[in-house]
Chains A and B, each alone.
Chain A
Amino acid sequence: MQMKKDIQQSIDQLLFNSPTIDKVGVEERVARFQTRSIKGDSKLQALKMALNMIDLTTLEGKDSPGKVQQMCYKAMHLHDELPNLPTVAAVCVYPSMVKIAKSALLNSKVNVASVSTAFPSGQAPLAVKLADTTFAVNEGADEIDMVISRGKFLAGEYSFVFDEIAAIKDACGNARLKVILETGELLTLDNVRKASDLAILAGADFIKTSTGKIQPAATMQVTYTMLMAIKDYYEATGKMIGMKPAGGISTSKLALHYLVMVKEVLGNAWLSNEWFRFGASSLANDVLMQLMKAETGVYQSPDYFSID
Chain B
Amino acid sequence: MATNKNIPEVEWEYAPSLEGTSHIQLKKKYDLFIGGKWVKPSSGKYFQSINPANEEVLAEVAYGSEKDVDIAVKAARKAYNEVWSIMPAAERAKYIYRIARLMQERARELAVIETLDGGKTIREARDIDVPLACNHFFYYAGWADKLEYAFPNRKVESLGVAGQIIPWNFPLLMAAWKIAPALAAGNTVVLKPAETTSLTALKLAEIIEAAGLPAGVVNIVTGYGDTGAAIVNHSDVNKIAFTGSTNVGKIIQKALAGTSKKLTLELGGKSANIIFDDAPIDQAVEGIVNGIFFNQGHVCCAGSRLFVQENVAEKVIAKLKERLKTLYVGNPLDKNTDIGAINSKEQLATITKYLEIGKQEGAEMYQPACTIPAKGFYCPPTLFTNVAQSNRIAQEEIFGPVLTIQTFRTIDEVIQKANNSPYGLAAGVWTEKGARIFNMANQLNAGVIWANTYNKFDPTSPFGGYKESGFGREGGVHGLAAYVKFV
Chain A residues proximal to chain B, CB less than 8 Å: 19-22, 24-26, 28-29, 35-43, 45-46, 49, 228, 234-235, 238-240, 259-260, 263-264, 266-269, 271-272, 274
Query: How long is the Cα–Cα vector from A46 to B12 in the complex, in angstroms?
Result: 8
Query: How long is the Cα–Cα vector from A38 to B336 in the complex, in angstroms?
Result: 10
A38 touches B123 (CB 8 A): no
CB < 8 Å neighbour of A25 from B123, B318, B322, B453: B453
Number of A-B contacts (CB under 8 A): 87
Q: Which residue of A lies closest to B279 (CB)?
A: A20
B15 touches A43 (CB 8 A): yes
B123 touches A49 (CB 8 A): no
Q: Which residue of A lies closest to B325 (CB)?
A: A267
CB < 8 Å neighbour of B11 from A22, A228, A268: A268
Q: Which residue of A lies closest to B5 (CB)?
A: A274
How far is the CB of A16 from the nearest CB of chain B, in Å? 11
B15 touches A269 (CB 8 A): no
A20 touches B432 (CB 8 A): yes
A39 touches B452 (CB 8 A): no
Chain B residues proximal to chain A, CB less than 8 Å: 1-5, 7, 9-17, 123, 278-284, 286-287, 318, 322, 326, 334-336, 432, 452-453
Query: How long is the Cα–Cα vector from A6 to B133 in the complex, in angstroms?
Result: 59
Interface of chain A, main secondary structure:
helix
Query: How long is the Cα–Cα vector from A259 to B452 in the complex, in angstroms?
Result: 27
* In the complex, chain B residues whose CB is within 8 Å of the CB of A260: 14
A21 touching B14 in the complex, CB below 8 Å, given contacts A36-B336, A267-B1: no
CB < 8 Å neighbour of A19 from B3, B11, B282: B282
A19 touches B14 (CB 8 A): no
Query: How long is the Cα–Cα vector from A42 to B14 in the complex, in angstroms?
Result: 6
Query: How long is the Cα–Cα vector from A239 to B279 in the complex, in angstroms?
Result: 26
Query: How long is the Cα–Cα vector from A259 to B10 in the complex, in angstroms?
Result: 12
* In the complex, chain B residues whose CB is within 8 Å of the CB of A38: 14-15
Query: How long is the Cα–Cα vector from A25 to B2 in the complex, in angstroms?
Result: 28
A25 touches B15 (CB 8 A): no
B452 touches A41 (CB 8 A): no
How far is the CB of B368 from the nearest CB of chain A, in Å? 13
In this complex, the member of B10, B123, B318, B322 whose beta carbon has the largest number of chain A beta carbons within 10 angstroms is B10
A272 touches B282 (CB 8 A): no
B15 touches A39 (CB 8 A): yes
* In the complex, chain B residues whose CB is within 8 Å of the CB of A46: 12
CB < 8 Å neighbour of B4 from A228, A240, A267: A240
A235 touches B11 (CB 8 A): no
A-B contact pairs, 14 of them (CB 8 A): A19-B280, A19-B282, A20-B279, A24-B452, A25-B280, A25-B282, A25-B452, A235-B322, A267-B1, A268-B11, A269-B3, A272-B7, A272-B10, A274-B7
